[in-house]
Amino acid sequence: MVKIKIDKRPWGVEKIFALNKKCSIKLLTVKPNQELSLQSHKHRQENWYFLDNARVQVGDKKFNVKAGDFISVKKRQKHRVISKSNIARFIEISFGKFDEKDEVRYEDRYGRATASEKK
- pTM given for the model: 0.85
Q: What is the pLDDT of residue 2?
A: 62
Least trusted range by pLDDT, from 7-11, 32-36, 100-104: 100-104
Q: What is the pLDDT of residue 119?
A: 45
* Residues 8-33, mean pLDDT to the nearest whole number: 90
- Domain limits of the chain? 21-107
pLDDT (tens digit per residue) in 42-86:
999 999 999 999 999 999 999 999 999 999 999 999 999 999 889
Q: What is the pLDDT of residue 114?
A: 62
Calculate the average pLDDT of the chain.
89
pLDDT of 116 > 60? The answer is: no
CATH fold, domain 21-107, is: Jelly Rolls (2.60.120)
Q: What is the pLDDT of residue 68?
A: 94
Q: What is the pLDDT of residue 34?
A: 96
> For every residue of 78-118, which 3-state class applies, written as one string?
CEEEECCCCCEEEEEEEEECCCHHHEEEEECCCCCCCCCCC
C-alpha distance from residue 80 to each of 12, 13, 43 (Å)? 32, 29, 17
